[in-house]
Chain A
Amino acid sequence: MKAPLSWIRDYVDLPATVTTEQLTDRLTDLGLKLEAIHSAADGITGPLVVGKVLTMEPEPQKNGKTINWCTVDVGDANGTGEPQGIVCGAHNFAPGDLVVVILPGGVLPGNFEISARKTYGHLSSGMICSARELGLGDDHDGIIVLPADAGQPGTDAFGVLGLDEEVIEFEINPDRAYGLSLRGVAREAALAFDGTYRDPALRSTPAANGEGYEVVVDDPAGCPVFVARTVTGFDPSATTPAWLAERITHAGMRPISLAVDITNYVMLETGRPIHGYDLDKLQGPIRVRRAAEGEQMTTLDGAKRVLSPEDLVVTDDSGIIGLGGVMGGETTEMSATTTNVLVEAAHWDAVSMFRTGKRHKISSEAGKRNERGVDPTICEAAADRVVELLVELGGGTAQPGVTVVGTPPASPQVRIGYDLPARVSGIDIDSETVVAHLQAIGATVDADADGVTVTPPPWRPDITDPFDLVEEVVRIVGYDQVPSVLPREAAGRGLTRNQHLRRRIGRTLAGAGCVEVVSFPFVGAATFDGLGLPADDARRHTVPLANPLSAEEPAFTTTLLPGVLKAAGRNVGRGAPGVALFETATVAFPVDRGPAPIYGVDRRPDPAELDKLIEALPLQPLHLAVVLAGERERGGWWGAGRDAGWADAIEIVRILATELGVAIETSQTQLMPWHPGRCASFSVAGVQLGHAGELHPQVCAHYGLPARSAAVEIDLDVLMAHATAVTPGPAFSSLPVAKEDVALVVAHDVPSSTVEAALREGAGDLLESVRLFDVYTGEQVGEGKKSLAFALRFRAPDRTLTEAETSAARDAAVARAAEVAGAVQR
């Protein structure tokens, strides 16, 4: 809402000493938040003066244009008193006219500096200005011709043009729809400075009579009040006076024609949207009803609308002539030839307005006010004000007929105890203050021993609850009066186990040299193509978005890999020699159980209802993705560096499992986007955990990553669910260790983990640890075979082992490996 200061002052007497900043500070404190203070002269620097055209010589040019070489009297403004020579391209003026002249040295909006310059064979010293050049609107061609009494040549033109106006722009919250009018802003200003307030909607209006235009309202709930007045003999050629055009321009609306400008002016003044019809185009009585399904109409913006039975429409014998309260129709629109006008000031159901505006995607100044709630009691006053201006400015005749259908709905009464504002705000507020402040906002207050029964003023449909009254009292007392007190100390339970575990996981990954990233979760088919996922891959079954930002990424992701891979590619592209990134976030898998229910809010949903709500949501497990690309260790004076590979990815999973005390099983698998021969699958107690390994070369290429880049994706919910809760203190022997190394030859495709597990199993309780320390393939072990070298450590808790005991345990281990994996000792 943009409110010109002079317009505010029309309705409230403010102390002369109050500055604009003081006013806006106080209004912000009251809840009308200052957005900006504009000066109408923003971007203009003088000298900008009134000039009188003395001579005007049309000079046709070779390019077909005709320019006017003018001399203009600018008084003493040019320092010499001599006429100023100016070239002007416009033709809508004549010698003797008063015009607006900007002299050399001045600046126009757009940082357009004016200087004397040679053009069309003349030295043009300044410019005769148009409204557009001064930023005063863009609808009129030609230069501004001032009224004959505008001022002497040389008079400063800022005041003449209303450019000295200050315009305050407010951010109006949805609960303060009354602030979308000068009436409401001025009321708050009066409240702020205890100034005298003159309500522009308080006027005596002619009583309803039987002579008015016939109006029938079929849906009084949707349209509780409909007022119609008629004006005849309006002069369609009458122009909008400058003061009115300036005010609505400053308020952010474009001047269109006098009749339309008047309805907009009164809407800005009172907050009540008005619609004007061309009376001669109306056929028969006006009727307000709900539309039938599929009915159609064309609104005055030229758009064809297919209506719903929820839409309120205004009709006559010809059919639908308006989308009630939202936008008028094309067929009865006022035009440049309209002489007889029907003025509609109607009160509409706010919810209905909101729904219709949303359904048809219409955002209009009228709709904005109607959907937030307008004072229902001022329809007659607003219509009367429009009639007054149509008569006064357009030469029309007010017809005596006054149609008023319906009565304004009553405001609901709200009761609070005197102590409520103090209890809620923590400020000491006595009962006198409660009563005084509620009266100050215009409410009718019925005070008794315990509290007040309040009838909110009709322009405050937002006040329905006791706490609404509390806010009114407290905002006037001042939010700065709220003391600062800490609540009592709660006996909190600290972070949850999973919150601790997540921090641990993050720190462990950072300790392993990985850098965390945060990516957007939006994906599309091309994303999955980039990962090389087959058509039937479960990860392609996503939660779709109804209104994605990009048509290429219309779904919520099932995998974090695209995000980390993209980020890694970006780092590599920016010259990073190596990058290790991780991300933890939830992904989503659809459950396809139909829509989530919408319940009422008058009570808590019961547990079964809540379950139903939660069950309709997608599964959203917490995932971890890691990508390791390029240098994992840097080269330097110490020697060569080392690039990341499949083993680094698997090591990340092992590090995390060790940190959380989770026993994981690793197996070979094939899954995109990983290399078909270099992908590990992990599980915990039979539950799938995730995958790690080298990325498929095509995937590396797609994301601009070096060959052999590696990646991990695991389900952290699974990992955390199996984390050791309380680690038992480890018991270990301090007796001497017995070491045995064994080299076992197995077929190439036997996993080392199988051999290791067999060794463990066969060695029995004396085995302390087993560690694979070498893998060898080559002639000595034969084609299709590999040799795995393990270091076994044996130790007993109670004695030093004999050589015989150790050898027996080792032989048993080897024997088991032979049995399980066909291992042959070298």
Chain B
Amino acid sequence: MQPEEVDAARDAALAAIAAASDLEDLKRVRTEHAGDRSPLALANREIGALPPQARKEAGQRVGQARGAVNQALAARQEVLEAEHEERILVEETVDVTLPTDRRPAGARHPITTGSELIADIFVAMGWEVAEGPVIEAEWLNFDALNLGADHPARTMQDTFWTAPEGSGVVLRTHTSPVQARTMLTRTPPIYVVCPGRVFRTDEYDATHSPMFHQVEGLAIDEGISMAHLKGTLDHFATQLFGEGITTRFRPSYFPFTEPSAEVDLRCFVCKGVDAASCRTCRGEGWIEWGGCGVVNPRVLTACGVDPERYTGFAFGMGIDRTLMFRHGLSDLRALFEGDIRFTTAFGSEL
């Protein structure tokens, strides 16, 4: 083969390689221009028959030409493979907007997660979470809390009694017996919060339920005053409802505490500004939240805490009610119906 023919064969090969449009095409080009029967392969075979002088020269030329072709083939192969892979990925495109709801989501109940959220606010302050049974001794639910049998305030709490009459056992009307249990079994300082189920003989409607949930707090230490109660509730309110949401006290009466106060929460929607049109606080600027006070020394005595050395404060509010206004619920019954559409909206943390 003449040198020009080698160059021509090489150029033809390179052109064909460059023109190969896909891997299939390139395979054909490879056979045609670099295969056993390709012009350059044939030229290579001819070299052995040439005289030594010419053999060296031709060998060099043919070798260079085949090298260039192989290199081009490899490069083209790489390009086309990449293109091929890319095309496959394009072809594999799916509609990512298809629904993917094969496994329905679970959720925890907002009363559970709400109780945990509240508990965690107090745990972060170094408090502990105390618990007790919902079917409770009358003495712990009432007497130990300065609510003797002849206390008019006892009739304010419409109590479920267990049969027979005189059993001395009730469905607890508040979580306060947990406070009594805590004082009876621990020595101060005591800082506990008690969330839980409570019962009253209320007919079931949009705002009343025979079963509801309360959270109560109790702090017993040396030098505790109403100021600490206020500080704690302000902190609690801010954590639960946001910066600037604090509380106010109004005189009230609870046998368990003296002095006693109603605690109002600054409306977290209108913040007391232009309250008139606010639906959350109904124009008050404040929301009735719960009761609180300084633990009555009589309660400390009944529970074995030295009232000369220690003072304490206690507070309590409804968890259900707190959730109702925090989340804008209009009907308490939504909490107890068990409709999954309600509960799943809250997920597994509040």
How far in angstroms is the closest Cβ of chain B from A728?
A: 28
A618 and B167 CA atoms in complex are apart in Å by: 11
Of the candidates B133, B166, B249, B296, the one whose C-beta lies within 8 Å of that of A480 is B249
Would you list which residues of chain A between 622 and 645 have a CB under 8 Å from chain B? 631, 633-634, 636-638, 641
Of the candidates A467, A486, A549, the one whose C-beta lies within 8 Å of that of B296 is A467
Would you list which residues of chain A between 553 and 597 have a CB under 8 Å from chain B? 556, 563-564, 566-568, 570-571, 574, 576, 578-581, 585-586, 588, 595-597
A33 and B228 CA atoms in complex are apart in Å by: 24
Q: Is B275 an interface residue (CB 8 A)?
A: no
CB <8 Å contact, A571 and B249: no
Binds A, one of B21-29, B50-58, B68-76, B106-114: B106-114
Would you list which residues of chain B between 241 and 297 have a CB under 8 Å from chain A? 246, 248-253, 258-262, 294, 296-297
CB <8 Å contact, B102 and A471: no
- Take A467-B297, A570-B338, A586-B133 as given contacts and tell me if A479 and B261 are in contact as well, using a CB distance cutoff of 8 Å: yes
CB <8 Å contact, B168 and A616: yes
CB <8 Å contact, B137 and A614: yes
How far in angstroms is the closest Cβ of chain A from B284?
A: 11
Q: Is A826 an interface residue (CB 8 A)?
A: no
CB <8 Å contact, B258 and A471: yes
**Chain B residues near A503 (CB, 8 Å)?**
116
- Take A426-B225, A599-B139 as given contacts and tell me if A578 and B129 are in contact as well, using a CB distance cutoff of 8 Å: no
Q: Which residue of A lies closest to B210 (CB)?
A: A549
A492 and B232 CA atoms in complex are apart in Å by: 16
CB <8 Å contact, B139 and A492: no
Interface string of B133-162 (1 = CB under 8 A from A): 111111110011010111111011000111
**Chain A residues near B210 (CB, 8 Å)?**
520, 522, 549
CB <8 Å contact, A489 and B125: yes
Q: Is B304 an interface residue (CB 8 A)?
A: yes
Q: Which residue of B lies closest to A584 (CB)?
A: B112
Of the candidates B123, B150, B298, B335, the one whose C-beta lies within 8 Å of that of A354 is B150
Binds B, one of A9-17, A602-610, A774-782: A602-610
- Take A372-B152, A617-B136 as given contacts and tell me if A544 and B163 are in contact as well, using a CB distance cutoff of 8 Å: yes
CB <8 Å contact, B232 and A486: yes
A465-B296, A556-B135, A633-B102 given; 6 more Cβ-contact pairs under 8 Å: A487-B224, A487-B231, A496-B129, A518-B336, A545-B161, A597-B139
Q: Which residue of A lies closest to B190 (CB)?
A: A490
16 contacts between A and B (CB under 8 A): A31-B252, A372-B152, A485-B231, A487-B232, A492-B128, A516-B108, A543-B162, A545-B161, A580-B106, A596-B168, A598-B139, A598-B168, A613-B139, A614-B137, A617-B135, A641-B102
Q: Is A546 an interface residue (CB 8 A)?
A: yes
How far in angstroms is the closest Cβ of chain B from A717?
A: 12
A-B contact count (CB 8 A): 304
**Chain A residues near B143 (CB, 8 Å)?**
598-599, 601
A650 and B338 CA atoms in complex are apart in Å by: 23
Q: Which residue of A lies closest to B229 (CB)?
A: A482
Q: Is A733 an interface residue (CB 8 A)?
A: no
How far in angstroms is the closest Cβ of chain B from A653?
A: 16
**Chain A residues near B152 (CB, 8 Å)?**
174, 354, 371-372
**Chain A residues near B61 (CB, 8 Å)?**
none
A617 and B133 CA atoms in complex are apart in Å by: 9
Q: Which residue of B lies closest to A642 (CB)?
A: B102
Q: Is A29 an interface residue (CB 8 A)?
A: yes
Of the candidates A494, A543, A581, A610, the one whose C-beta lies within 8 Å of that of B128 is A494
A339 and B144 CA atoms in complex are apart in Å by: 53
CB <8 Å contact, A547 and B339: no
**Chain A residues near B304 (CB, 8 Å)?**
603-604
Q: Is B301 an interface residue (CB 8 A)?
A: yes
Interface string of B181-220 (1 = CB under 8 A from A): 0001000010100000100010110000011000000010
A300 and B125 CA atoms in complex are apart in Å by: 60
How far in angstroms is the closest Cβ of chain A from B185?
A: 8
CB <8 Å contact, B338 and A567: yes
CB <8 Å contact, B203 and A511: no
- Take A467-B259, A604-B304, A637-B98 as given contacts and tell me if A581 and B126 are in contact as well, using a CB distance cutoff of 8 Å: no
Q: Give the size range of A's interface with the partner.
A: 35 or more
Binds A, one of B1-9, B31-39, B340-348: B340-348
A465, A495, A603, A604 interface centre (most CB from chain B within 10 Å): A604
Q: Is B91 an interface residue (CB 8 A)?
A: no
Chain A residues packing against B (C-beta within 8 Å): 28-31, 33, 173-176, 351, 354-355, 358, 371-372, 423-427, 465-468, 470-471, 474-475, 479-480, 482-496, 499, 503, 506-507, 509-522, 543-549, 556, 563-564, 566-568, 570-571, 574, 576, 578-581, 585-586, 588, 595-599, 601-605, 610, 613-614, 616-618, 620, 631, 633-634, 636-638, 641
**Chain A residues near B164 (CB, 8 Å)?**
544, 546
How far in angstroms is the closest Cβ of chain B from A362?
A: 13
A599 and B166 CA atoms in complex are apart in Å by: 14
How far in angstroms is the closest Cβ of chain B from A806?
A: 38
Q: Is B43 an interface residue (CB 8 A)?
A: no
A579 and B338 CA atoms in complex are apart in Å by: 11
CB <8 Å contact, A518 and B109: yes
How far in angstroms is the closest Cβ of chain B from A141?
A: 36
CB <8 Å contact, B128 and A596: no
How far in angstroms is the closest Cβ of chain A from B349?
A: 9
A171 and B320 CA atoms in complex are apart in Å by: 24
CB <8 Å contact, B227 and A479: no
How far in angstroms is the closest Cβ of chain B from A583?
A: 8
CB <8 Å contact, B297 and A465: yes
Q: Which residue of B lies closest to A521 (CB)?
A: B211
Q: Is B325 an interface residue (CB 8 A)?
A: no
**Chain B residues near A426 (CB, 8 Å)?**
225-228, 230
A635 and B224 CA atoms in complex are apart in Å by: 61
**Chain B residues near A595 (CB, 8 Å)?**
166-169
**Chain B residues near A425 (CB, 8 Å)?**
225-227, 259
Q: List 9 tightest A-B contacts by C-beta distance, closest first.
A: A426-B227, A567-B338, A604-B304, A173-B253, A596-B168, A31-B251, A517-B338, A471-B259, A426-B225
**Chain B residues near A486 (CB, 8 Å)?**
125, 228, 231-232, 235
B98, B150, B156 interface centre (most CB from chain A within 10 Å): B150
CB <8 Å contact, A543 and B227: no
Q: Is B171 an interface residue (CB 8 A)?
A: yes
How far in angstroms is the closest Cβ of chain B from A789?
A: 27
CB <8 Å contact, A509 and B106: yes
**Chain B residues near A33 (CB, 8 Å)?**
250, 252, 262
Q: Which residue of A lies closest to B99 (CB)?
A: A636
- Take A546-B163, A610-B184 as given contacts and tell me if A470 and B123 are in contact as well, using a CB distance cutoff of 8 Å: no
**Chain A residues near B108 (CB, 8 Å)?**
506-507, 509-510, 516
How far in angstroms is the closest Cβ of chain A from B243?
A: 14
A499 and B156 CA atoms in complex are apart in Å by: 32
